[in-house]
Amino acid sequence: MSNVQVLPLLEPEAAVAPCCPPLTERPFSAEEAEVAARMFKALGDPVRLRLFSAVASHEGGEACVCDISDVGVSQPTVSHHLKKLKDAGLLTSERRGTWVYYRVEPSVLAAMGQLLSTAAGP
Amino acid sequence: MSNVQVLPLLEPEAAVAPCCPPLTERPFSAEEAEVAARMFKALGDPVRLRLFSAVASHEGGEACVCDISDVGVSQPTVSHHLKKLKDAGLLTSERRGTWVYYRVEPSVLAAMGQLLSTAAGP
DNA sequence: CGTCTATGTTGACACACATCGAACCAAGCG
DNA sequence: CGCTTGGTTCGATGTGTGTCAACATAGACG
């Protein structure tokens, strides 16, 4: 049983900087690939991508679950995917009264954008 | 008037737009999410990410399998992942004599970069 | 307190996937 | 032609994942 749950807490500063250089700069090391693949994987599901996009594009940068849960799957599945996005560090959640609001972790888009930035920019 | 270049500034589905608008622009439709998730998923594996990065960063933009197959898995597994990347449209392959060369599909980085581009740059 | 709505959690199940060894093609070389 | 090296395909196997129904929790409200 290799079900070790060692989740290294993502410190805010650690989450921002050390993700990775652009994919085109040099071959990724195993560690870099592990970290970056986790983000890509989290967005590698259509339902999660729609949820993420719905939150990211929602006004104010945050969205209540009730506003984004219309993606064609059951409510527990939505909750499951939101949890995955949260575990991957892409979203944060906060309960305010009856509803739970999700919000995009700002550093994430920057990190992934840097990953895909070509060395030869415009 | 045959060399008119239409700039796809306001028409996301026209011309260049290879798959989707930025994630932050509006909620993705099911079809957009399906297409985009396929690319993210292809890069959502550490081994594939290392292979892709190795090809993308290799000089000349292409690499022989023999040059990038040192990622800690067996050679059939490497071939399997390269095939997946090829099926996802991220890589192309060409046999030249003894060796097989892989090369990054150029439009891919642009497409994914556009996906993650925030309306307001950093 | 009891009840209703909004989310999260659990258990179960089917399917997909990553991985390997072995067998199989392709090109060069004696 | 047989041999060697490079690469892909095949079959099997264990693990991961998406999904749902059922249950659990957290506030709001009467």
- For the stretch A35-92, pLDDT in tens is 999 999 999 999 999 999 999 999 998 999 999 999 999 999 999 999 999 999 999 9
Interface contact B49-A26, CB threshold 8 A = no
> Residue A37 and residue B46: Cβ atoms within 8 Å?
yes
Q: B102 CA, C21 C1': separation in Å?
A: 25
Q: Return the CATH architecture of domain B30-116.
A: Orthogonal Bundle (1.10)
Burial string for B63-90 (b: 16+ CB within 10 Å, else e) reads bebeebbebeeeeeebeebbebbeebbb
Per-residue pLDDT averaged across B75-85, rounded?
Answer: 98
- CA A40/CA A91 separation, integer angstroms: 14
Question: How many Å from the CA of B65 to C1' of C10?
Answer: 45
Nucleotide nearest to B74 (CA to C1'): C20
DSSP strands (E only) in chain B: 62-64, 91-96, 99-104
Note whether A27 contacts B113, CB cutoff 8 Å.
no
Tell me what the mean pLDDT of segment B93-121 comes to. 86
Would you call A72 an interface residue with chain B, using a CB distance cutoff of 8 Å?
A: yes
The class of domain A28-116 in CATH terms is mainly alpha
- Which residue's entry shows tokens 């749950």? A5
CA distance B1 to chain A (A): 27
Distance in angstroms (rounded) separating the CA atoms of residues A33 and A22:
11
Name the DSSP class of B94.
E
Here the tokens at position A111 are 């990190």
